[in-house]
Structure 1
Amino acid sequence: TICDDQFDMKDAAVVCRMLGSKGNVHLATVEGVYGGGTGRIFYDELQCIGSESSLEQCTSDSFHDCTHTEDAGVVCDSDSVKFRLVGGSDANSGRIEVNLNGLWGTVCDDEFNTAGAKTVCKQLGLPFAHAYPFNFGPGSGSIWLDDVMCTGKEANILECNQTEIGNNDCDHSEDIGVVCTDTVPNLQVRLVGGGRNDEGRVEINTGTGWGTVCDDEWDSREATVVCNMLGFTGGIPRAVSNGFFGQGSGSILMDDVQCFGNETSLAACGFAGFGSHDCDHSEDAGVICHSENSQSLQIRLVGGNNAKEGRVELFFNNTWGTVCDDQFDDREAKVFCRMLGYNGSAVGLGNAHFGQGSGPIFLDDVSCTGNEDSITTCSFAGYGQSDCDHTEDASVICDAGHQNVSIRLVDGKVPNEGRLEVLYHGRWGTVCDDLFDTTNAKVVCRMLGLPTGNAEAVHGARFGSGSGTIWLDNVDCSGTENSIAECRHQVWGSNNCDHTEDVGVRCGSTIESPVRLAGGSTPYEGRLEIFHEGRWGTVCNNGFDATAAKIICNSIGYPSDTPSLMSASGFGTPPSTIWLDGVRCNGNETAIDVCTHNRFGLNSCTHDKDVAIMCRSHGIKCYHCDGLLDPQTCNEQVQCSAGEVCEEAAFIANGETRFSLTCQSKLVCDALQGNVIGRRSIAKRQGQTVQVKCCDTPLCNRNLIDKSSIHGGHGSHGHSTTGCQDDPKMDCNALDGINICANVQAAKIYCPLHCGLCTSP
């Protein structure tokens, strides 16, 4: 059997292809859905791409830690799985139940929404245009499906993305049902708790009483639908969150509402299902249907040294509040300054540069182009919706004039390296290492007039911790900028760092780090490792592609136009360090160091994402002859497969020493040379001596064995199985373990020597 660890739809697709399935639904089942098997468990941690023609082409662990309760299964034909609706008021509604292997089970409501409801209704031949999820009470038995995510275009729910059948983290209180209908459900809406009738907390009534709406996914599109339902069409609808107009009570009737903005009712939008939510009333959603034209938005600057600078505050809902610095930069500052009548240059500052405010934080994630006349026409998270505190209050400096930005490298051992410091508004400060990579380092080196080749970002205050302001964070350059100030970054002075994260830069390095392919059976395949700071480490596969693989193959002397990327799981135990992540090459580089990548040691990977490469799609060439008296007379050559080496075998036939030359699996060669079948065992039973030697360079197998070292042989001709003198079981088990008889050439030589007792596959 196959263990269900890592078993998924890609693995199921390969199994179904091997079985001749032509369908487009290939589903994986886990945890012994079809019962436990018996005998050996052949595969564990099976990982297929999905396009393989056989499971033998997929990667897997050599050993397993499973029992037959974890046997995997597949569904290759969706028609074999039946669906029904149970517990509804009519045939068009009810709890979804699924019949698999003769057993009815349910569907968990995780991720299930109106798109999933439409798909179920469609496949059952029921009205589906305005189908929606609904809870019809708990079912029983197995929970077959979970995390079902449909687009609504699928013909069958089994075509939707989902976890493996039988794999869930639910109980029956989460069983989902559907109402199949072509009519938009009747839905009343009202606004509660506002200072006027066109603002307030959104409450809805489906006919069973009033309840609130959760603010998950709530934005201006949903606000537009609510305002239009109420007839407030003259303003600019705004979404508010986090119980901005007070917390409601009773049921939370809608969650995860997602509208386009042109619907006539919230019930026509996508949502999790009436009554299905993961919220409390602190997340009650609200709307403001009027614009600043009907209630002027007041702003002020507080805490500055003059009228043109300070902390930004807004007067809203009869109280003053602040703005969070998330995404806040000079463009947002320019809009605020324009609202105050200042049309010159503007600088945005974060981290409560002019002191912390108090009261509500009205705006967060503000994003402007810089050309707007009012901050209300920029995008933002929604009035009152933020994940900030007052240490993140945003500030501005209006009519700031042009600010020249200077940089320097400090405390390096040589002039082209050191801690990066920036001079801004007359003060030197540092740069946080968050997101700072090779591309950013090249911009810094260009500013300093230093070579940009092999520029490196050095994280973790390796050149010592600075002091004063941390001016920049989350710097993101494209690589073409002439100044770091032109790169995307958080507002000046806004960061979530301390000086232990001060970034440094090395410019103009010309040293290429050594690389190798480790753990493979040949020098041109294996796990990619790079030597840095005195130790070997691996490379994560994020961003790593065939272009990068070609550079590696060229650099180690095995150039290839078609290198293969492989799973590294079969190449032994990796070193503990993962050196590189996010490697992206354009193809012109001579070494991986020159490619764009995260700084050495910065990654979000585990070793299951280590890069492995096969530089050749085939192996070396070897001499290929059988039964020769003199191996030097062999001139025939054969192209070996990847993972094979050259072999020379000597054996006694009719009292004469004969030689066989061919390709052989490196695994088999290692076993034969290591006496797994053993010269002692064969000689003891049959009076013959067999020598096997292997080599891994092209055409190396004509003179590996010294003919004078072959002893014995008399009396062996015509020996039968009855003449075996010792128990052959151990030897045959050893041969079966390395599957030697699967290789025809090896079988011709070695299987007869074991009295015909070895099993051919």
Structure 2
Amino acid sequence: LTGGGDRFGRVTVVINGEEGTICNRNWDSREADVICRQLGFSTGEIYAGTYTDVAKGKVWDTHFMCTGYENDLNECVLGGWELATRWSCEMHKDDVGVSCYSNVKLTTLSGRSGSSGAVQLYKNSRWWRVCDDGFDDFTAKKVCEELGFVDGRSICCSAFGVTYTDVIANNTLHCDRDDKSIIGCIKDKPCNSSFYASAVCFSNYSIEENKYNFSLEKKDSGHVKVDHYGITGRICSRDWDDKDALVMCRMSGFSNGIAYQHSESTVLEVIRGPYWLAGLNCTGNETDLMACPHNDRTDLGNCSNSNIASVLCYNGTE
């Protein structure tokens, strides 16, 4: 793999003694699984990020027909290697890339992987959501280090919303100082909370722990967006009322406002992010939502079936 890191990047091959890349004309998640397994990982997916270098050399094309269970691309049915002739292939614009995983990954509800999301553990040849019992910041850091980051923070309570992937019922994930890998962090304890754990990973140690930036979906209305750790998220609608909305609207330059609850299904996942706050209990006199009693990422409570805190702001007494 080139143009990325130890576990992700552009796939390079050597055909007839010439090194080159592969055009992704017939490449899907099954081929990604196989190439990652061939490289010593458990599973993989198509890489959707950018590359850190400029690709050079030949671009090869073939028709892959993998089932996804092979251990080597050579075990798949191939249509024969030939030089790519499509312009986008020739210019390395469609080079195949993969992200490979051994034991853990972070995913959003759509299945996209990245630097934040629900923690998933690879066990018995499938991915499971990790129970949030015992999942703390040190464990999140260990997860993030395994994914190539330097630090991380935990988020409790199924923060990315309802999921249809099973939570491991008979294991939890909690790392101690002497655990050398994530596998050593798996504990034989039942999941009592039924919530899944989430994490956000960082590429450096410059983390602003207490910085929250608030904005609205629209100029004067919509769901409240919360930017924390560089990730845009939301506020759980549990206990969200007009007093909380009034404070948010004043922060946005309005004199008044009322609360409502925004359905999760109407907000694109790519912009809604995790729940960062819950249980807001403003008096209405505060100048900032963070001055109100609230629960943060460590104690969100049950928000997995909640709607998103939203406001309608206005001036005067409309």
TM-score w.r.t. the length of structure 2 is 0.38
Question: Which structure has the higher relative contact order (CA within 8 Å, separation 6+)?
Answer: 2
Task: Give the strand-richer structure, 1 or 2.
Answer: 2
Larger Rg: 1
